[in-house]
Structure 1
Amino acid sequence: MTTTALAYCPITVDDVEAAIPFYRDGLGLEIVNDVSYDGTRWLSFGFAGQTGLAVVLSDPAAGRSPEDADALLRLVVKGSGPGPYVFTTDDLDATFERLRVLGAEVLQEPIAQDWGPRDCAFRDPAGNHIRINQA
């Protein structure tokens, strides 16, 4: 039997530089790769203790036609892009507070959901819907 695993989770942002504090300082991810190529940029963020999986932030033009990039950018900046993206943390309250202090838009303060997890929700600087569950 072979093993299949998720290697990358791409998240499109309109400004890679502006998104760094949210993912690095707020969520506690580590930058493991920073690539600029042909006028685009993408960053890979790693997870402590979870090797082989990365969140990859990139601008809409990375690997897309100009038309697709424009369409995706319009969706992302109005908060209608792909997602939500769901992360877990061992300290929801501390993670919530770090992101709130960074100025992230709060969509939902930490609450216990009827379906199980205690979670909260934010928009990243590009407008992506980010949910965080208590592990």
Structure 2
Amino acid sequence: MSIQRMDNVAIIVSDLDAAVSFFTALGMEFEGRGQIEGPWADRTVGLDGVRSDIAMMRTPDGLSKLELTKYHTPAPTSTEPESPPPPPNTLGLHRVMFTVDDIDDTIARLRIHGAELLGEVAQYESTFRLCYLRGPAGIIVALAEQID
């Protein structure tokens, strides 16, 4: 038996509309929105009283998706709510990376939606320009622009 595909990556956010706007500005396409609740949801995630809203976003090629999730109940938790978002070398899910046509234009569009550049745009050999941004809910979004 083998994996058929990776379906999506979920990101828990506090402001679903802002997250949709951020990923739309990045160039993802809004696929749909829905509410998740009921006994099947409780059993799936292992929490009681789950009620959340989700928005599905897809890349223009249709091959990759993000599920943006806002939990209403139970309230989302954070290990240290007053602390700054973790640095890029924190154990666990590290980042989501996207290849873009124009990294400078993408950064400019995302800054309007609150993105912060973590370092700077760097060039790897003669093949890529790369950077890390802090996006919704403190996640790290990496961008790569292939150099022709």
| TM-score normalised by L of structure 1 | 0.75
Query: How many aligned residue pairs are there?
Result: 127
Asked whether the 8 Å contact 1:96–1:110 carries over to 2, the reply is no
Asked whether the 8 Å contact 1:83–1:130 carries over to 2, the reply is no
Give the one of 71, 77, 98 matched to 1:70: 77
Answer yes or no: is 1:118 the counterpart of 2:124: no
Cα deviation, residue 125, structure 1: 2.9
Is the helix fraction higher in 1 or 2?
A: 1
Over the residues paired in the alignment, what is the CA RMSD in angstroms?
Answer: 3.0
- Three-state SS of the structure 2 residue aligned to 1:44 is strand
CA 1:4/1:117 → structure 2, altered by over 3 Å: closer, same or farther?
farther
Asked whether the 8 Å contact 1:46–1:55 carries over to 2, the reply is yes
Unaligned runs of 5+ in 2: 38-50, 87-91
What is residue 83 of structure 1 aligned with on the other side? 94
Q: Which amino acid aligns with 1:70?
A: T
Asked whether the 8 Å contact 1:123–1:129 carries over to 2, the reply is yes
Deviations 1:65-123 (A, max 9, x none): 948x4146x57x84237322111112212111211233322213322146x63112211
Where does 1:1-135 land on structure 2 (aligned, <5 Å)? 4-25=4-25, 27-38=26-37, 39-49=51-61, 51-59=62-70, 61=71, 66=74, 69-71=76-78, 74=80, 78-80=84-86, 82-113=93-124, 117-135=128-146
% of aligned pairs identical? 26
Q: Distance in 1 between matches of 2:99 and 2:121?
A: 13
- Three-state SS of the structure 1 residue aligned to 2:132 is strand
CA 1:123/1:4 → structure 2, altered by over 3 Å: closer, same or farther?
same
Structure with higher RCO (Cα < 8 A, 6+ apart): 1
Q: Which amino acid aligns with 2:29?
A: E
Q: Distance in 2 between matches of 1:24 and 1:108?
A: 23
CA 1:93/1:85 → structure 2, altered by over 3 Å: closer, same or farther?
same
| TM-score normalised by L of structure 2 | 0.69
Is the strand fraction higher in 1 or 2?
A: 1
